[in-house]
């Protein structure tokens, strides 16, 4: 199998899988139990928090573990609107956010909130000036992703934070950094965001674990889950110790080899651009600079058919976000792409394991599809 969909999920390294198994088998105590076995599990959770917080660039007291990036996004949005409930009911976000941000915003619209959806330019980019122009006195939340999961465009979160500060806005800033964590360089304590959402399975951890950073401007946060008081009382529920251990190990491994890994992915992406754009009918979509995501279009050839054809040859790419489940991408719709370009968009995404020979196989398969299949009329 040739796996070129690392933006959807990533393979779990053997060391991570071994760590998870060891905790499941030998360290399965409940961290809330008061005897020694429970205290050992509680200490393990603390070590995991230290490792992930260090990789994110924040103190342990700022990090809340969650079940996934989606939960982290939802939690941040609800915390921000709760804190700003006496300020107003206006939210600024983009038309190209992950559904984990867009769907909560749509629900809030049904609850009386007004939401401004910023549109990207033709290359998929959003500017800080757009955010400045959308701010209102009653804005309580600005939610802008760090790296777009379908185009690889990196949005200017630090500049947006500066815009909010210069405007004297009371709005809190959330960024979905699921595709940015250990993929593009940043530190939570200098990025300027009040909330940062991350997910484990995008960096080699098992599915079912994520985290949320809460900055200093977040005051008296309202709990998401009530019960036993875990996660500083904000998210009750017995900690998923094995997944947390896997998350920490994956972050440790990625961080230890981060420079070479990012350089390798950037090199593979550059090679992919060279090889794929040499194919008649293939064009680039957007100009994302993240090293692990490349959007292209085999113009006129329906992407669902291309993905199925490539899959039959053992090559895994996506027609967009895995969360769309085959539906048309709102990201490419928002970019106002020509109909035939939009119909043929493919997302190719890389990991530290991706080889140039994988790109060669993809290029050959795309040429074959172009030469043997009928385009869209």
> Where are any strands of DSSP class E within 200-318?
210-214, 282-284, 293-298, 315-316
Q: First vs last Cα of the chain: how many Å apart?
A: 32
Neighbours of 184 (CB within 10 A): 17
CB 298 within 8 A of CB 278: no
Residue 95 phi, psi dihedral angles, 5° rounding:
-75, -5
If one counts every other C-beta atom within 10 angstroms of the C-beta of residue 224, the result is: 18
CB burial of residue 273 (10 Å; 0-12, 13-18, 19+): middle
**H-helix segments, 145-288:** 157-167, 188-191, 241-256, 258-276
Catalytic residue IDs: 323
- Give the distance, in angstroms, between the CA of residue 2 and the centroid of all CA atoms in the same chain: 22
* DSSP letter string, 65-79: EESSHHHHHHHHHHH
Task: Give the length of the chain.
Answer: 377
DSSP string, 177-194: -TTTTTTS---HHHH--S
């Amino acid at each position: 199998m040739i796996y070129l969909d690392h933006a959807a999920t990533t393979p779990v390294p053997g060391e991570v899988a071994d760590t998870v198994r060891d905790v499941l088998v030998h360290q399965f105590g409940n961290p809330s139990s008061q005897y020694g076995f429970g205290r050992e599990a509680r200490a393990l959770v603390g070590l995991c928090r230290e490792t992930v917080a260090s990789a994110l660039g924040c103190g342990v007291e700022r990090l809340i573990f969650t079940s996934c990036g989606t939960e982290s996004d939802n939690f941040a949005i609800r915390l921000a609107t709760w804190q700003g409930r006496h300020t107003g009911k206006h939210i600024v976000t983009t038309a190209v956010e992950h559904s984990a941000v867009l769907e909560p915003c749509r629900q809030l619209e049904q609850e009386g909130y007004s939401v401004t959806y910023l549109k990207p330019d033709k290359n998929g980019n959003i500017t800080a000036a757009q955010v400045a122009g959308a701010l209102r006195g009653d804005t309580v939340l600005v939610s802008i992703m760090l790296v777009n999961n379908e185009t690889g465009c990196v949005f200017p979160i630090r500049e947006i934070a500066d815009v909010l500060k210069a405007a004297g806005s009371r709005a809190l800033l959330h960024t979905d950094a699921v595709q940015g964590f250990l993929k593009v360089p940043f530190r939570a304590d200098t990025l300027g965001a009040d909330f940062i959402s991350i997910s484990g399975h995008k960096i080699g951890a098992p599915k079912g674990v994520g985290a949320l950073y809460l900055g200093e401007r977040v005051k008296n946060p309202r709990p998401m889950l009530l019960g036993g008081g875990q996660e500083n009382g904000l998210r009750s529920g017995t900690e998923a110790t094995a997944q947390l251990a896997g998350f920490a190990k994956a972050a440790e491994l990625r961080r230890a080899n981060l420079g070479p890994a990012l350089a390798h992915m950037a090199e593979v992406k550059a090679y992919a651009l060279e090889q794929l754009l040499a194919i008649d009918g293939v064009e680039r979509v957007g100009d994302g600079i993240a090293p692990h995501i490349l959007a292209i279009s085999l113009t006129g050839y329906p992407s669902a058919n291309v993905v199925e054809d490539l899959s039959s040859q053992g090559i895994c790419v996506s027609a967009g976000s895995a969360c769309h489940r085959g539906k048309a991408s709102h990201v490419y719709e928002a970019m106002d792409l020509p109909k035939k370009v939009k119909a043929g968009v493919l997302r190719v995404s890389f990991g530290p394991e991706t080889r140039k020979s994988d790109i060669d196989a993809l290029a050959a398969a795309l040429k074959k599809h172009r030469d043997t299949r009928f385009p869209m009329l």
